[in-house]
Amino acid sequence: MTSYTIGENLPLWGGDDTQTITFIVTSDCNLRCKYCYVVAKENNKRMHFSTAKKFIDYLMSDKLNRSKKVVLDFIGGEPLLEIELIDKICDYFKIKAFELSDEWYWQYRINICSNGLLYEDEKVQNFIKKNIHKISFGISIDGNKQKHDLNRVKVDGSGSYDDIMRILPLWKQQFVPSTKVTFSSPDLIYLKDSILALWDLGIYDVAANVVYEDVWNTGDDKILEQELMSLADHIIDKELYDKGYKCTFFMDFLGGFNTQGDLNSIFCGAGKMLAIDCSGNIYPCIRFSPNSLSNKKAKVIGNIEKGLDKEKLRTYACIDASMISSQECIECPVAKGCPYCQGFNYDESKNDTIFNRTVYHCLMQKARVRANDYFFAKLYNQKGITRENYSSNHQYLYFILSDDYVSFCQFENKCNSHKTMNQDLIQEGLNFCRENFYKPVFIHSNELYNFESKDFYDSFIIEHIIPIQNYEHSKTLKNVTYVIEPDTLGKLRNRISRCIFNINQDQIDSLYKFITEVFKFTDRVNLNVIGLNENFQEDLYQEQLMQISDYLVQCFKITGEVKEINVLNDVMYEDTHENCKAGDRLFAFAPNGRFYICPSFYSNNKNDVGCLENGINFDNKLFNAKSHFLCKNCKANQCLNCVYLNKESTDEFNVSPSYQCRKSNIELNVAYELQKRIPEAFINSVKLEKVKNLDPIISAKPIMPHFDY
Ligand code: SF4
Ligand code: SF4
Ligand code: SF4
């Protein structure tokens, strides 16, 4: 349960092991909606009962590998035109399932999505009363009267809104009302009013969407964004977010890069769902049926006489997001949750294939993600409610608030200048983040604390990195990581949830002493060894880490709680390399208004990689973890692999120096021992293996002239 309902998905009956069977009972309809996907409304096509009966017989035969639960979905045209047929089909299904002791007898649901015009009809009402506990009944209402009547018109061209208002009380009395609303270019301006109108009518669950079609005009994305942001403000001002209302324009999981798992799966259920039409042909879903396709012939994957054609079905088992997406979609920072429809992909494909992905709605999806970021940031900053179910796969922009920013990674910032970033620039940088989907991280001065929070910041989730000596000044900020150093350890007097402990490599012999001191105030320490070079004392480091490992074991045995230190614990939960992300998914924004690969590149007067006006122009080919040859062959997944250090020591961004590699592999070996000693503390962790060669180059390139191993 989240602390908000707006932002949650709509309730879905059945869960993962559920399959939808759609009966296209008629192509006839008593409305003429302007956006209707039913391309051919032929009023003489209706399903015969014998067709549906044969299909049910086939579904319940032992020829199919089925889901445990089933949704019998009735669709048209307008399905209520065929209510007697639907009633007969449902009765037949129930009797057949009962006779066969089929598990579907207990696990089925009837779903009807109607325009509502025939809702009060006696036969419809009888059917509803007979199946009342098994039906989900959606009626399409497009929002307020203006928007609804713009599209949902009767045969004579008049709007159907007033007809729906007439049946609304009865519908609400019989069901938890839900509706689908679809927006295209002309009606975007009614969006906010439409959603509010639906909620006012008592329709709490609103499945809202924009069309996939090529209908969008320049500037439509800005209208969508403004409408959604204005709706978000209203929701927050009136505190509607936890009152049971839902609208799928707001979804907490939207945004972030694809994970490998996302790329290996497919967004929609075509092939798992099945649809059958009046002719007895079976389709992967309704959008592959002749009624729904404008450009292509229907994709028939079987018929009621011969059943499913297993050869044709193979395609739907062999498709995933990586195969249909362009490189732009694969690498898109907001790919998570970006929808597509396989039927529409097929209809629009050039080569008569379903291995295609339409992107007409791309800008609209990006606008939607921005509005979601705005909504959840305000919810968090103004109401203290955290966004849940949200990916951690994002790109970051580090704001250098002052030239003397606190060191927070392997690079030691020795600059004393107090040149700071002004408010206007901060605001412009934040706008850049919103436009381009970067998460802002503010790196504060190591000395002065002159940061002032502004109302404008409320619409962003900002992370802060602040030296511990400024703890008192910054207590009211959220999302703070405090930086502690041996000299400032005495300033640590309160419990903190996130911290970085900086230690110079020359002080490594006191590591255990310092870390156990920090653990008195927190359960997790991010250790950062700065100034790393070839003089790093590896044996000493290993010895100190082993002592820390003993301490972690002891703590666990006494309290049952796991204390964490990044260099030992993170490798247990990472199965791929991420590196520090600089130059790939992390950039810095400096007080001079320009972008850099990371703060160290700014501090060392390296070339910038762009400015606010032109954005970040950078070929990140060498910065992605996949292009680091050594890292590809290394299991030290906790390693941050500093590209600045790489460039300084090996002259290349993607080749790391031996001391960095050996340090990380020492950590891996100590983590391996730790995991072995208390496996019960690391349930669901990656099973670690001990490495023999601390430097992965030895196993990666065993034969190389002039190379001293
Ligand atoms: S369609 Fe656009 S928003 Fe969606 S994944 Fe592709 S690039 Fe990203
Ligand atoms: S590359 Fe990463 S670790 Fe290295 S200095 Fe830049 S931000 Fe820090
Ligand atoms: S230890 Fe070396 S090879 Fe392994 S991830 Fe780190 S930099 Fe890459």
- CATH fold of the domain at 18-343: TIM Barrel (3.20.20)
Q: Which residues contact 262 (CB under 8 A, 6 or more apart)?
A: 321, 335, 336
Report how far residue 76's alpha carbon sits from residue 45's, in angstroms, rounded to the nearest whole number.
10
- The mean pLDDT of the chain is 93
**Mean pLDDT to the nearest integer, 470-490:** 96
pLDDT digits (tens, 9 = 90+) for 329-365: 999 999 999 999 999 999 999 999 999 999 999 999 9
Nearest residue by C-alpha to atom 1 in ligand 1: 362
Does the beta carbon of 660 lie inside 6 Å of ligand 3? yes
Matching residue, tokens 């590209």: 643
pLDDT digits (tens, 9 = 90+) for 369-416: 999 999 999 999 999 999 999 998 999 999 999 999 999 999 999 998
Q: Which atom of ligand 3 is nearest to the CA of 663?
A: 1
Q: What is the pLDDT of residue 194?
A: 93
Q: Write out the H or E segment, with its range, that includes residue 285.
A: none
Q: What is the pLDDT of residue 47?
A: 95
Q: Which atom of ligand 1 is nearest to the CA of 329?
A: 6
643 C-alpha to center of ligand 2: Å? 6
Task: Kindly identify the ligand whose nearest atom is closest to the C-alpha of 650.
Answer: 3
pLDDT digits (tens, 9 = 90+) for 148-206: 888 888 888 899 999 999 999 999 999 999 998 989 898 899 999 999 999 999 999 99
- Answer yes or no: is pLDDT of 327 > 60: yes
Among 398, 411, 586, the mutation site with the greatest number of ligand 2 atoms within 8 A of its Cβ is: 411
Q: What is the pLDDT of residue 1?
A: 67
Does the beta carbon of 366 lie inside 6 Å of ligand 1? yes
Q: Which atom of ligand 1 is nearest to the CA of 328?
A: 7
582 C-alpha to center of ligand 2: Å? 6
Query: 645-678 in b/e burial notation, b at 16+ Cβ within 10 A?
Result: bbbebeeebbbbbbbbbbbbbbbbbbbbbbbeee
Does the beta carbon of 600 lie inside 6 Å of ligand 2? yes
3-state secondary structure of 83: helix
Identify the weakest region by mean pLDDT among 61-75, 110-124, 250-264, 276-290: 61-75
Using alpha carbons only, give the angle 150, 154, 160 rounded to the nearest 5 degrees.
60
Report how far residue 311's alpha carbon sits from residue 680's, in angstroms, rounded to the nearest whole number.
46
513 C-alpha to center of ligand 2: Å? 26
Domain boundaries, the chain: 18-343, 396-531+580-607
Q: Is the ipTM, as predicted for this complex, more than 0.90?
A: no
Where does the pLDDT of residue 368 fall: very low under 50, low under 70, confident under 90, or very high at 90 and above? very high
Does the beta carbon of 630 lie inside 6 Å of ligand 3? yes
Does the beta carbon of 321 lie inside 6 Å of ligand 1? no
Report how far residue 505's alpha carbon sits from residue 528's, in angstroms, rounded to the nearest whole number.
10
- Answer yes or no: is pLDDT of 440 > 80: yes
Task: Kindly identify the ligand whose nearest atom is closest to the C-alpha of 366.
Answer: 1
Does the beta carbon of 410 lie inside 6 Å of ligand 2? yes
Does the beta carbon of 208 lie inside 6 Å of ligand 1? no
Q: What is the pLDDT of residue 708?
A: 61
pLDDT digits (tens, 9 = 90+) for 513-560: 999 999 999 999 999 999 899 999 999 999 999 999 999 999 999 999
Q: Which atom of ligand 2 is nearest to the CA of 586?
A: 7
Where does the pLDDT of residue 277 fall: very low under 50, low under 70, confident under 90, or very high at 90 and above? very high
CB atoms within 10 A of CB 426: 23
Does the beta carbon of 410 lie inside 6 Å of ligand 1? no
Does the beta carbon of 601 lie inside 6 Å of ligand 2? no
Q: Which atom of ligand 1 is nearest to the CA of 334?
A: 8
Among 571, 660, 663, 698, the mutation site with the greatest number of ligand 3 atoms within 8 A of its Cβ is: 660
- Answer yes or no: is pLDDT of 41 > 60: no
Contact 256, 392 (CB under 8 A): yes
Nearest to 398 by CA among 630, 574, 644: 644
Where does the pLDDT of residue 650 fall: very low under 50, low under 70, confident under 90, or very high at 90 and above? very high
Does the beta carbon of 644 lie inside 6 Å of ligand 2? yes
Q: What is the pLDDT of residue 701?
A: 63
Where does the pLDDT of residue 703 fall: very low under 50, low under 70, confident under 90, or very high at 90 and above? low
pLDDT digits (tens, 9 = 90+) for 548-585: 999 999 999 999 999 999 999 999 998 888 788 999 99
Does the beta carbon of 381 lie inside 6 Å of ligand 1? no
Report how far residue 316's alpha carbon sits from residue 318's, in angstroms, rounded to the nearest whole number.
5
Among 644, 650, 664, the mutation site with the greatest number of ligand 2 atoms within 8 A of its Cβ is: 644
Q: Which residues contact 631 (CB under 8 A, 6 or more apart)?
A: 577, 579, 625, 639, 641, 656, 696
Q: What is the pLDDT of residue 221?
A: 98
Does the beta carbon of 645 lie inside 6 Å of ligand 3? no
pLDDT digits (tens, 9 = 90+) for 128-163: 999 999 999 999 998 889 888 888 888 888 999 999
233 C-alpha to center of ligand 2: Å? 38
Where does the pLDDT of residue 42 fall: very low under 50, low under 70, confident under 90, or very high at 90 and above? low
Does the beta carbon of 329 lie inside 6 Å of ligand 1? yes
645 C-alpha to center of ligand 3: Å? 12
Does the beta carbon of 365 lie inside 6 Å of ligand 1? yes
